[in-house]
């Protein structure tokens, strides 16, 4: 590795199993927060629901207190892309909500995000979410045979740029990341093609893959709260994310209940769990 580059943390099987525990708690917490995301509900209430699941399982949030972040989830609505604060905002029909959360079990982290369309979806908003979700799964599937992390961005970019209909933009200012004993680690996981191959993929590497797509331009700005990222043109955005482990037996989606079986099946990839 070149001098000055962040060191990548490679996990043992037992450490990945702890991350899987955190991932399952996180999946349940997101399930409950998504189910609660109804017309008339505040985003602060979703934070309470999510935090309650973590507490029930003895997990802690890796978001709350992170550089002063005040909540257990990011709740970003419509043109808010990421890092939105849960608040007294009341969800309305047609809102595009991104719920991003994390969990820690015995020092090991998991990170995942979903897009929810509240009430009746605008067809183009639904398309945006569907394409973002499939882009995430295509990025994950690329890990099955990829030699370098850059292949993830290549797979996502190739898919998104080839989707019929109105073009969708891939955010470049915010990307995926390594994950393990900390929430954000090396390497960066880009969601777009750059021509750079990135870090070599090795067993023990765990990555959070999180494409963020927009219906308009990819330019963003940060609001006065120093956290909430919005599109400068007001276009709506979608985010989907899973934490994934690479091990000697294959890949395993740590934040999916089934380990990624359903999401990877269309691409002929079968995830392989690590046995205790």
Question: Residue 184, annotated ligand binder?
Answer: yes
Question: Across-strand partners of 245?
Answer: 206, 252
Note the helical H segments in the chain: 13-36, 43-56, 123-142, 150-162, 261-264
Q: How far apart are CA 18 and CA 123, in angstroms?
A: 39
Strands 220-222 and 169-170: unpaired
Q: How far apart are CA 80 and CA 98, in angstroms?
A: 8
Question: Residue 79, annotated ligand binder?
Answer: no
φ and ψ of 248, to 5 deg: -60, -30
Question: Residue 177, annotated ligand binder?
Answer: yes
Question: Residue 111, annotated ligand binder?
Answer: yes
Q: How far apart are CA 204 and CA 212, in angstroms?
A: 26
Question: Residue 57, annotated ligand binder?
Answer: no
Considering just the CA atoms, what is the radius of gyration of the chain in Å? 17
Cβ within 8 Å of residue 262, ≥6 positions away:
256
User: Are the C-beta atoms of 108 and 19 separated by less than 8 Å?
Assistant: yes
**Which DSSP string corresponds to 50-64?**
HHHHHHHTT-B-SST
Question: Residue 257, annotated ligand binder?
Answer: no
Question: Residue 83, annotated ligand binder?
Answer: yes
Residue list, annotated binding site = 83, 100, 111, 177, 184, 210, 241
Residue list, annotated binding site for a divalent metal cation = 100, 111, 177, 210, 241
Residue list, annotated binding site for substrate = 83, 184
């Amino acid at each position: 590795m070149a001098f000055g580059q962040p060191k990548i943390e490679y996990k043992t099987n037992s450490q990945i199993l702890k991350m899987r525990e955190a991932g399952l708690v996180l999946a349940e917490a997101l399930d409950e927060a998504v189910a609660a995301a109804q017309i008339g509900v505040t985003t602060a209430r979703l934070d309470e629901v999510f935090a309650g699941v973590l507490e029930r399982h003895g997990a802690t949030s890796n978001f709350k207190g992170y550089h002063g972040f005040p909540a257990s989830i990011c709740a970003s609505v419509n043109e808010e892309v990421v890092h939105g604060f849960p608040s007294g905002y009341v969800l309305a029909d047609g809102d595009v909500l991104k719920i991003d959360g994390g969990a820690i079990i015995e020092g090991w982290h998991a990170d995942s995000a979903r897009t929810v369309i509240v009430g009746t979806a605008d067809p183009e908003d639904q398309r945006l979410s569907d394409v973002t979700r499939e882009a995430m799964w295509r990025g994950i599937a690329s890990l099955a045979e990829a030699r370098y992390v850059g292949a993830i961005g290549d797979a996502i970019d190739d898919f998104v740029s080839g989707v019929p209909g109105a073009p969708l933009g891939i955010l470049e200012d915010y990307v995926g990341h390594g994950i393990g004993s900390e929430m954000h680690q090396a390497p960066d996981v880009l969601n777009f093609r750059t021509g750079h191959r990135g870090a070599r993929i090795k067993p023990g590497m765990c990555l959070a893959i999180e494409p963020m797509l927009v219906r308009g331009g990819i330019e963003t700005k940060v609001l006065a709260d120093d956290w909430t990222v919005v599109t400068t043109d007001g276009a709506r955005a979608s985010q989907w994310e899973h934490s994934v482990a690479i091990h000697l037996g294959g890949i395993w989606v740590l934040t999916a209940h089934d380990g990624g079986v359903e999401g990877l099946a269309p691409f002929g990839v079968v995830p392989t769990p690590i046995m205790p």
